[in-house]
Structure 1
Amino acid sequence: MLLNVRLESGYQYENGHVIATDTVLRNIRIDKGTITKILDPTAPYEKGLACYDAKGMLLLPSFKEMHIHLDKTYYGGPWKAAATRENGIFSMIELEQSLLLELLPTAQERAEKLIELILSYGSTFARSHCNIDPVVGLKNLEKLKRALANYSDKIAHEIVAFPQHGLLRSNAEGLIRDAMKLGVTHVGGLDPTLVDGNMEKSLQTMVQIAVDYNAGIDIHLHEGGETGLKAIRRLADLTEEAGLHGKVTISHAFSLASLAPGADVEMANRLASLGISIASHVPNGKGVMPIPMLQEQNVNVMLGNDSITDHWSPFGIGDILQKAHRAAELYGWSNEYNLSRALSLATGGITPLDESGKQVWPKVGDDATAVLVPASCSAETVARLPKCAAVLYKGNVASGLLDDTKHKKGKQ
């Protein structure tokens, strides 16, 4: 039993506008990782159950980290700032020729520390891109799979076979296919024009691998302007032709920020019709990504930390809720309603209340996968970023602590 849990129950309105969020206290019974009862605190419950007191903390859906590189990081080791990029991405590819081998002996250890970090911030799902390249071959993948296996009772995952040095440029197709045989869930790609030098062949190869292994696609597309837009349009066509509806993600997709009014909605409708998702780290200092417009047109927008203190960037802290907070600040989502809806960016679309304020989560039958935070509502959580007190994964405490009252008798 999880006692004295605060759940959102509805919105308060004034002159047609949401001004506050109502909550109630409930006791929740969990059996074999599933919520089986949601009770009023005065209702009786079975004696002899292990009981944990949430002390009025707010229960929210746990978070989803949808773009991260668990296999290569400085995290867990000495501080080191990002590398200088004299020749952009090509400088970084050259650096990795030696750096990946230096990091390899501690790759599993650091991946595990990174998993613990994102767990502490409430993420119980991670989609990790993993380097597949001629330098390390499948060795990073082997280390990452071991790390994830050690945390299989705390976090679910997907793995993207990521040709960081270019799918065509590094002749990585064979290695990617080998990675797919090892249970990788998504085929990756990288800037088909800038890096691979042949947009059509790069995209065709990626799509064919996905079809051959019944896998998803998640491409890094940093290319801006018309170059990036051309790649998005062609990938959309190939997605339709190959029957990959709902299985394709475009990470970053910076070129969407350059679309003119009208063309942006047209593009968004095309992506939505094919179930193509956008994964964003909510970048600062570049063209502002049109996340609100994408959501309005029913495009699935997901968030990720991307790099966490590695040779690409020192700024990621592992907190997906912080990314939702950044989006709210960037797009001016400062009122109660918009802040509460922004939570969906961190949770993979799940919110306690639907758009009309009806309570839709949690329900009996849901997995007991959630976070407890010292906050009064979702809106406060997004705005104030409280530290997760406890993280539950299928009924198990994956991170943090709960007050154990199991020695107290349950009610008759």
Structure 2
Amino acid sequence: MTADSISRKNFIKNTSILLVAGTSTLTSMATAADAAEKPRSTNAGKSFTLKNVRLETGFEYEDDEVSRTKTELFTIEINDGKIKAILPNKPGADAIDAKGLLMLPAFRDMHIHLDKTHYGLPWKANPSKRKTVKDMIAYEQQIIPELLKTSVPRAEKLIELMQSYGTNYARSHVNIDPTSGLESLRHLERALENKKNSFQAELVVFPQHGIYYTKSEQLMKEAAKMDIDFIGGLDPYTIDGAIEKHMDFVVQLALDNDKGIDIHLHEAGESGMKTINYLIDKVNENPVLKGKTFISHGFALAQLDKAKTEEIAEKLANARVGVASTVPFGRTIMPIPTLYKYGVDVMAGNDCIIDWWSTFGSGSILQKTNLAAQLYGYRTEFDLSRSLRLATHNILPLDDKGKQIWPKVDDIADLVLVDASCSAEAVSRISPVKSLIHRGNIVF
């Protein structure tokens, strides 16, 4: 299992990522890693064993409150991309030594733009003169032709950055607009093909320049027939000037092509809420869209009083319309706890990574989870452990009663090894990810 292995150190070095120092967790891989020329994954002959793996096993209580998360060391056998056995630890076994690091589900970034980034290019801050979405559309029309020339390798570098933070899965929105045509999508598909053994993504075709504002209807129809998963939309009122016309197009395109829906909705106030309610009504009229429809951002939800927030959360839950949030702060704090209370499917994403919309994206979804914990006052052992679901899209090692529910035999081997004693500590301290395994492939 040494020929294609690579350490975290060389993974970062060879992708020009200067993040966290340190050598590979998987000690038996270290020698070969030094000779590796580029980051790549290995499935170790489709079978390997990890020893000294720390797993969460339950909660301890003091005064009826969770005071500590219990863990034990185990031996984990992986074969053909799945977890095939979870055994009592065998410290002397001929196996890869995980050195007592905590095993958690691999992380998922559920709102990002892999096709749009300055990552891999020289630093460039955002100028102050571009204030509105329409300003940004005009700017993109200028810069996209040049950026397309290097978009494949830069998308790959961005994927590698995310992997170094433990993310192996993403939902990526990709521009469909008259300036780039279908090239942004084709280039991203090429980058994902090059990373298919170590990363997976679902794609949203996204009319970043409006559907009617820049005449993108035909391009969207063509893109919908390609290998994509969701139909996107963008601020129907402020960009296209008509909520119903824009949303009817998105909904019908999804129905005609058996796709889901994930719309960008930055609009606040009356137009934002009208769009949310209109989408809920359309989903209820077309039940096939339930569980497949999402609102990205949804900033209008952050401006409601308590009663209206609870009312719309219940409506979203009943229609099974999810919310993908970038966990914004400042004056736009999303009501994520209320959405959870009513059972809304909440997902988190980095959104922009060092691009012309924002330079602050780090690539770490665990950092986003930490931010959420701070915003919503998740300070206890129990609350911090529950908040991990933002990083994993609802996969947790323990249920609310402390029963172990992950990992199980035959689970897909998508996991990270983290330098933390438990998931609560991992969230609170943004603990470093030492190794990522994607479908049984050791990424680093």
TM-score category (smaller protein) = over 0.9
Instruction: Report the residue type matching 1:84 in the other structure.
Output: S
Q: Report the secondary structure of 1:333's partner residue.
A: coil
Q: Is the counterpart of residue 275 in structure 1 residue 300 in structure 2?
A: no
Specify which of 127, 134, 145 is matched with residue 178 of structure 2: 134
- Asked if structure 1 preserves the Cα contact closer than 8 Å seen for 2:171 and 2:204, the reply is yes
Q: Distance in 2 between matches of 1:390 and 1:177?
A: 40
Alpha-carbon separation, structure 2, partners of 1:209 and 1:166: 15
Deviates more, 1:175-184 or 1:355-364: 175-184
Kept in 2: contact 1:85–1:92 (CA 8 A): no
Correspondence for 2:400 among 343, 352, 355: 355
Distance in 2 of aligned mates of 1:180 and 1:341: 36
Supply the AA of the counterpart residue of 1:27.
Answer: T
| 1:135 Cα offset (Å) | 0.3
Deviation per residue, 1:160-195 (Å, 9 max, x gap)? 101001012112111011112121111010000011
- Structure 1 counterpart of 2:82, from 25, 31, 34: 34
Contact persistence 2:52–2:90 (CA under 8 A): no
What do the CA deviations read for 1:206-248 (whole angstroms, capped 9, x no partner)? 0000000000111000000121011100000011112211111
Q: How many matched pairs?
A: 395
Q: CA deviation at 1:83?
A: 3.6
Kindly state the Cα deviation for residue 43 of structure 1 after the two structures are TM-superposed: 9.3
Q: Percent identity?
A: 50
Q: Provide the C-alpha distance between the structure 1 equivalents of 2:362 and 2:332, rounded to a whole number of angstroms.
A: 22
The 5-angstrom pairing of residues 165-244 of structure 1 reads 165-243=209-287, 244=289
Determine whether 1:111 maps to 2:159. Answer: no
Cα-Cα RMSD = 1.2
Quote the residue 1:22 is aligned against. Answer: 70
State the 1:287 CA deviation.
2.6
Aligned to 2:116, which of 48, 58, 72?
A: 72
Matched AA of 2:74: R
Return the structure number with greater relative CO, CA threshold 8 A, min gap 6: 1
The residue aligned with 1:3 is: 51
Give the deviation of 1:85 after TM superposition: 4.1
Partner of 1:257, secondary structure, is helix
The one-letter code sitting in structure 1 at the alignment partner of 2:191 is A
**What whole-Å deviation, never above 9, does each CA across 1:304-335 have from its counterpart, x for those lacking one?**
00001111000001000000000000111011
Q: Aligned to 1:114, what secondary structure does the other structure show? A: helix
Structure 1 gap segments, 5+ residues each: 401-412
Cα-to-partner distance string for 1:232-289 (whole Å, 9 max, x where unaligned): 0000001111221111110000000111222111111111111111011111212321
Q: Secondary structure at the match of 1:246?
A: coil
2-side partners of 1:361 and 1:285: how far apart? 35
Amino acid at match of 2:70: D
Where does residue 420 of structure 2 map in the other structure?
Answer: 375
Report if aligned partners of 2:385, 2:427 keep a CA contact under 8 Å in 1: yes
**8 Å Cα contact 2:51/2:90 also seen in 1:** no
Q: Does 1:346 align with 2:394?
A: no
Q: Is the 8 A contact 1:133 1:172 kept in 2?
A: yes
CA distance in 2, matches of 1:225, 1:12: 45
* Matches of 1:35 and 1:311, distance apart in 2: 41
- For structure 2, which runs of at least 5 residues remain unmatched after alignment? 1-48
Moved more, 263-272 or 322-331: 263-272
For 1:367, what is the secondary structure of its paired residue?
A: coil
Q: What are the equivalent positions in structure 2 for 1:284-303 lying under 5 Å apart?
A: 284-303=329-348
Q: TM-score, normalised by structure 2?
A: 0.87
User: TM-score normalised to the size of structure 1?
Assistant: 0.94
Question: For structure 1, which segment, 9-18 or 85-94, has the greater mean C-alpha deviation from structure 2 after superposition?
Answer: 85-94
